[in-house]
Amino acid sequence: PVPIVLDCDPGHDDALALLLAHADPAVDLRAVTVVHGNQTVDKCLRNALAVCTLAGITDVPVARGADAPLTRPLRLAPDIHGETGLDGPELPEPVLDPAPGHAVDLLARTLRDSDEPVTVVATGALTNVALLLRAEPALRERMAGVVWMGGSTGRGNITPYAEANAANDPEAAQEVLDSGVPFTMVGLDTTHQALVTRDVVDRLEAMGTTVARTCAGLMTFFADTYREAFGMPDPPLHDPVAVARVLDPTLVPTVRAHLVVETEGRWTAGATVVDLDGYTGRAPNADVAQGLDRDRFLDRLLAAVASYR
């Protein structure tokens, strides 16, 4: 299995990404690190620990990371994820303690202790990853790559041209790109193919386990806020798509392209500028997701959820 760390801000779709990453035999989830985003880092940390408690995940360290972007003000998403960051069904009181120290320390330890390079799957702003690369640039060599749910090859979801994880810390995203670490962007245009239609919720409910019932409740809340905020009939399950790319690259095909993150634009900060047509003549620096095999993705995700008893 591919060793991974999940850097996340749970978050409804982050919660499912975590369940997928722990259950699927193609990856070995070595650590979970938490970043500001959908809610404050403290609420997201609590949510990560609650999801682990729900699923009986006791062997994966979970650490608190950055509480704010590198330079910009903190922006949260209570309109999408609620006041707790994981509103909807009741979650258990976390029985686990966070790992000691900062998420950057846990990331560094995990990379250093691994006998093979580790893939960082990031499903929030890239603040923690940028801080790690600032603190210990040599650890770049210990990373197989960063696979990030963020950005878009087209329009945004927080401003007309910026996706939330990119807009929340564009400087961090650009720093990670500039480090030269192999970078995969799984953007909105692809994750919007991972729609949680009613039949998906029905399949979850039919499983009859507490974990599956909780997932169904999370998806129902997510559907309601997505309908309210975006007028979309079904919500997209963004973050598990980044995990899926590592489980089986054929689930999420990519193309090589030059990618920069807008850090100066007055109206476009956080826009991910993906040169799919080679206009700039700049050498490709990223693998950019271009589609999803939705049926196989959902089967894999639902099998992961069903494996929790």
Binder of ligand BDR out of 87, 163, 175, 275 (CB under 6 A): 163
In this structure, the chain runs to a length of 309
Q: Rule CB under 5 A: is residue 14 a binding residue for Ca ion?
A: yes
- Restricting to residues 111-140, name those near Ca ion by CB under 5 A: 123-124
157 binds, among ligand BDR, Ca ion, none (CB under 5 to 8 A by kind): ligand BDR
CB of 9 to ligand BDR, least distance (A): 6
Query: Which residue numbers are catalytic?
Result: 238
Minimum CB distance to ligand BDR smaller for 89 or for 117 = 89
Q: For 205, phi and psi rounded to 5 degrees? A: -65, -35
Of residues 59 through 88, those in contact with ligand BDR by CB under 6 A are 77, 80
Q: Looking at 5, 6, 7, 11, which residue binds ligand BDR (CB under 6 A)?
A: 11
Residue whose token pair is 């509480």: 67
- 168 scored as a contact of Ca ion (CB under 5 A): no
DSSP 56: T
- Could you say whether residue 169 binds ligand BDR (CB under 6 A)? no
Give the separation between CA 172 and CA 223, rounded to whole angstroms: 30
Helix (H, G, I), strand (E, B) or coil at 96: coil
What token pair was written down for 301?
């995700």
Task: Assess 11 for contact with Ca ion (CB under 5 A).
Answer: yes
| Rounded CA separation 267/276 (Å) | 22
Q: How far is the CB of 228 from ligand BDR (least distance, A)?
A: 14
- Tell me if 5 contacts ligand BDR by CB under 6 A: no
- 187 contact partners, CB below 8 Å, separation of at least 6: 149, 150, 151, 152, 153, 163, 272, 274, 288, 289
Q: How far apart are CA 119 and CA 124, in angstroms?
A: 15
Say if residues 170 and 270 touch (Cβ distance below 8 Å).
Answer: yes
Closest CA to 172 of 104, 243, 246, 99: 104
What is the smallest separation between the CB atom of 123 and ligand BDR, expressed in angstroms? 5
Per CB under 6 A, does 47 bind ligand BDR?
no
Ranges within 170-229 binding ligand BDR (CB under 6 A): none
List of residues contacting ligand BDR (CB under 6 A): 11, 13-14, 38, 77, 80, 123-124, 149, 157, 163-165, 238-239
List of residues contacting Ca ion (CB under 5 A): 9, 11, 14, 123-124, 239
